[in-house]
Amino acid sequence: MLTSCSDSTEKAPAGGIGVPTRGPRTSYVPPHLRNRSPSVDTTSAPVLHYDAAVGSGHQGHGGPPPAGIRSVGPRNDRGGVSSSRGGNGGGGAWNNRNNGWDHGRARESNPFQDELDTEQAFGAQENTGINFDAYDDIPVETSGKDVPPPVNTFAEIDLGEALNLNIRRCKYVKPTPVQRYAIPIALAGRDLMACAQTGSGKTAAFCFPIISGIMKSSQSALRPPRMPRMAFPLALILSPTRELSLQIHEEARKFAYQTGVRVVVAYGGAPINLQLRELERGVDILVATPGRLVDLLERARVSLQLIRYLALDEADRMLDMGFEPQIRRIVQQMDMPPPGLRQTMLFSATFPKEIQRLAADFLSSYVFLAVGRVGSSTDLIVQRVEYVLETDKRSHLMDLLHAQRANGDQGKQALTLVFVETKKGADSLEHWLCMNHFPASAIHGDRSQQDREYALRSFKTGKTPILVATDVAARGLDIPHVAHVVNFDLPNDIDDYVHRIGRTGRAGKTGLATAFFNENNSSLARPLADLMQEAHQEVPAWLSRFAARSTFGRNRRGGGRFGSRDFRRDTPFNRGGMDSYGGGHINNGYVASGGYGGGFGPTTVTSAWD
Q: How many CA atoms lie within 13 A of 419 on its CB side?
A: 27
Stretch that binds ligand ATP, among 26-34, 55-63, 193-201, 324-332 (CB under 6 A): 193-201
Q: Which is nearer to ligand ATP, 198 or 550 (CB)?
A: 198
Q: Report whether 546 contacts 168 (CB < 8 A).
A: no
Integer Cα distance of 57 and 127 in angstroms: 52
DSSP 487-513: ESS--SSHHHHHHHHTTSS-TT--EEE
Contact 462, 483 (CB under 8 A): no
Cα–Cα distance between 610 and 597 in angstroms, integer? 35
The site string for ligand ATP over 114-133 (x = CB under 6 A, - otherwise) reads ----------------x---
What's the closest the beta carbon of residue 408 comes to ligand ATP, in angstroms? 22
CB of 241 to ligand ATP, least distance (A): 11
**Is 240 a binder of ligand ATP (CB under 6 A)?**
no
Rounded to 5°, angle at Cα 386 from 383 and 390: 130
> Which among 101-109, 175-183, 220-228, 286-294 is the span making contact with ligand ATP, rule CB under 6 A?
175-183
Does residue 496 bind ligand ATP (CB under 6 A)? no
- The answer to whether the CB of 557 falls within 8 A of the CB of 352 is yes
Measured from the Cβ of residue 595, the count of other Cβ atoms closer than 10 Å reads: 17
- What is the smallest separation between the CB atom of 257 and ligand ATP, expressed in angstroms? 14
Cβ proximity to ligand ATP: between 28 and 351 the closer is 351
Cβ atoms < 10 Å from Cβ of 100: 8
- Output 250 or 280, the one with its CB closest to ligand ATP: 250
Residue 349 binds ligand ATP (CB under 6 A)? yes
Rg (CA), the chain: 24
CB of 132 to ligand ATP, least distance (A): 8
Reported residue count of the chain is 610
Q: How far apart are the first and last CA of the chain?
A: 21
The residue among 71 and 176 lying less far from ligand ATP, judged by its C-beta, is 176
Judged by CB, which is closer to ligand ATP: 176, or 555?
176
Minimum CB distance to ligand ATP, residue 251 (Å): 7
> What distance in Å separates the CA atoms of residue 115 and residue 472, rounded to the nearest whole number?
23
Report the DSSP beta bridge partners of residue 516: 386
Give the list of residues 6+ apart from residue 365 with CB closer than 8 angstroms, or none: 144, 145, 190, 191, 340, 579
* Beta carbons within 10 angstroms of residue 84's beta carbon: 10
Dihedral of CA 22/26/31/34: which sign?
negative
Q: How far is the CB of 198 from ligand ATP (least distance, A)?
A: 4
206 binds ligand ATP (CB under 6 A): no
* Among 598, 596, 589, 608, residue whose Cα is nearest residue 141: 589
Q: How far is the CB of 316 from ligand ATP (least distance, A)?
A: 11
Contact string (CB under 6 A) for ligand ATP, positions 443-482, x = contact: ---------------------------------x-x----
Q: Among 28, 50, 135, 172, which residue sits at the site for ligand ATP (rule: CB under 6 A)?
A: 172
Stretch that binds ligand ATP, among 77-85, 301-309, 388-396, 499-507 (CB under 6 A): 499-507
Are 417 and 503 spatial neighbours (Cβ–Cβ below 8 Å)? yes
71, 110, 143, 203: residue in contact with ligand ATP (rule CB under 6 A) = 203
Q: Check binding of 181 to ligand ATP (CB under 6 A).
A: no
For ligand ATP, the binding residue among 150, 199, 268, 559 (CB under 6 A) is 199
Please, which residue, 202 or 353, has the CB nearer to ligand ATP?
202
Task: Find the binder of ligand ATP among 4, 96, 166, 198 (CB under 6 A).
Answer: 198
Q: Does 202 bind ligand ATP (CB under 6 A)?
A: yes
Choose the binding region for ligand ATP from 16-24, 199-207, 298-306, 556-564 (rule: CB under 6 A).
199-207
- CA angle 318/368/151 to nearest 5° reads 115
Q: What is the dihedral of CA 381, 386, 390, 393, to 10 degrees?
A: -70
Q: Is residue 201 a contact point for ligand ATP (CB under 6 A)?
A: yes
Burial code of 374-390, b = ≥16 C-beta within 10 A, e = fewer? bbbbbbbbbbebbbbee
Instruction: State the binding string over 501-520 for ligand ATP (x if CB under 6 A, else -).
Output: -x---xx-------------
Contact flag: residue 268 with ligand ATP (CB under 6 A): no
Q: Between 348 and 603, whose beta carbon lies closer to ligand ATP? A: 348
**Options 4, 110, 176, 275; binder of ligand ATP; rule CB under 6 A:** 176
**Footprint of ligand ATP (CB under 6 A):** 130, 172, 175-176, 179, 196, 198-204, 349, 476, 478, 502, 506-507
